[in-house]
Structure 1
Amino acid sequence: MGSVGLLYVGAVLVINGLMLLGVVPGKAAAAMNLFVGAMQVVFPTIILTQSDGDPGVILGASGLFLFGFTYLYVAWNLLTGAPGEGLGWFSLFVAACAVVYGTLHFTLIDDPLFGVIWFSWAVLWSMFFVLLGLGRESIQRRTGWFTVFLGIFTGAIPSFLLLTQNYPSGDGSALIGAALAVGLFVLAWLLGAPKRTSISRDKNTVDAST
């Protein structure tokens, strides 16, 4: 994924995560999804038309459409009030593809760190599927936190590392990235835990009701 495009993927993930957390209203998040979604469809199309059939270039551009269509789909739902089931099941497709792209980064492309990033996205899009496709609203806040975290740590930070030619490679960086991803998932799960409502009652209230 291009370093510039990756930066704005990070931005839209942060916005969408804040939306899931109730910080950003849905319609306020629609514009960023439209902008980034359009960019992630137009740019890879241009790349494909100029690829001269190069398999590596085609492979690299192909994954961008998954994100472009996701964000355009999000914008459509936000602006039209359409239900989220379609987006949820599309997210399952994206998650499965992300596993394939992650595996290819370990085996074919020899970029294990970005393979870890793809696997992280597979987990996130799987959460979108559970939340939207299956309607499990109990994980909304957990999904929101994880979305924000991945926007920063798999979007913005890797983008700046690529832009400044400081992007790390090798198995060591992949191990660190994997440990960080697991830690962020656990943190998101803890921060997004549903608030427990106390079932205890004042003794006098209980007595009065019996």
Structure 2
Amino acid sequence: MGSVGLLYVGAVLFINGLMLLGRISGKAAAPMNYFVGVMQVVFPTLMILQSNGDTAVVLGASGLYLFGFTYLYVALNQTFNLDGEGLGWFSLFVAVVAIVMGYLNFTTVNDPVFGAIWLIWAVLWFMFFLLLGLRKDSLTRMTGWFTVIVAHLTGTIPALFLLTGEYRSDAFWTWVMAIGGLLALVVSGLLGRQHDTATTDPHRPEPTPRRPGRAAV
């Protein structure tokens, strides 16, 4: 994935995580999803047109569409207040393909750090499937926190390393990324549970409900 595109993946995931946490509305998040969604469809199309049949380039471009379609799907759902079930099941497709992409980065592309990143994305998109496709609303807060953390772990930070020429893909950084993803999942679960415990406290005043976009990713 191009470093510029990866940087904005971090940006849009951060926005969508805040949307799931109820910090911003779905309408407010929609423009960024349109911006990045269009970018992640136009860029890979140009890459494929200029690839001259290079399978490595086509493989790299194919992964970008997964993100572009996701963000455009989110934007349309928020704009027109559509149900998120279709996006949830599309997220299952993305999660499965992300596992394959991770495997290929470990074996064929020889970029193990991105292999770990793709596997983290597989977990994230599987959580979107559980939340939207299977309507596991209890996972909303956990998914929101995981999205916010993963936005920077797998998007912003690697993109900045790539842009500055400091990116390294070796065993050490692969383990750093993998452990970071695991810690992000654990911390997100704890933060989501902490909120659930606080809101069920009988002595706590009932908060004014805020609905995150139900089709949020």
Q: Which residue of 2 aligns with 1:86?
A: 86
Q: Which residue of 2 aligns with 1:168?
A: 168
CA distance in 1, matches of 2:173, 2:179: 10
Shift of 1:195: 2.1
- Can you list the C-alpha shifts for 1:115-138, whole angstroms capped at 9, x where unaligned? 000000000000000000000110
Q: Which residue of 2 aligns with 1:180?
A: 180
SS at match of 1:192: helix
Q: TM-score, length-normalised on structure 2?
A: 0.90
- Can you list the C-alpha shifts for 1:11-70, whole angstroms capped at 9, x where unaligned? 000000000000011100000000000000001001100000001100010100000000
CA distance in 2, matches of 1:75, 1:117: 24
CA distance in 2, matches of 1:150, 1:135: 22
Correspondent of 1:198 among 192, 198, 201: 201
CA distance in 2, matches of 1:81, 1:177: 36
Q: Which residue of 2 aligns with 1:206?
A: none
- Establish whether residue 72 from structure 1 lines up as the match of residue 75 from structure 2: no
The letter of the residue matching 1:161 is F
Gaps of 5+ in 1: 201-210
Q: Which residue of 1 aligns with 2:150?
A: 150
CA distance in 2, matches of 1:168, 1:144: 29
Q: Which residue of 2 aligns with 1:103?
A: 103
Shift of 1:199: 5.3
The letter of the residue matching 1:195 is D
CA distance in 2, matches of 1:95, 1:8: 20
Q: Which residue of 2 aligns with 1:11?
A: 11
Q: TM-score, length-normalised on structure 1?
A: 0.93
SS at match of 1:77: helix
Gaps of 5+ in 2: 204-217
Q: Which residue of 1 aligns with 2:134?
A: 134
CA distance in 2, matches of 1:157, 1:147: 14
Larger radius of gyration: 1
SS at match of 1:92: helix
Aligned residues between the structures: 200
SS at match of 2:169: coil
Shift of 1:173: 1.0
The 4+ residue runs of structure 1 with deviation greater than 3 A are: none
CA distance in 2, matches of 1:190, 1:92: 24
CA distance in 2, matches of 1:5, 1:198: 43
CA distance in 1, matches of 2:84, 2:196: 24
Q: Over aligned residue pairs, what C-alpha RMSD do you find?
A: 0.9
The letter of the residue matching 1:48 is I
Return the structure number with greater relative CO, CA threshold 8 A, min gap 6. Answer: 2
The letter of the residue matching 1:103 is Y
The letter of the residue matching 2:98 is A
Q: Which residue of 2 aligns with 1:54?
A: 54
- Can you list the C-alpha shifts for 1:160-210, whole angstroms capped at 9, x where unaligned? 00011101111111111111110111001101114232358xxxxxxxxxx
- Can you list the C-alpha shifts for 1:93-131, whole angstroms capped at 9, x where unaligned? 000000000000000011101100000000000000000
- Can you list the C-alpha shifts for 1:69-111, whole angstroms capped at 9, x where unaligned? 0000000100111101000000000000000000000000111
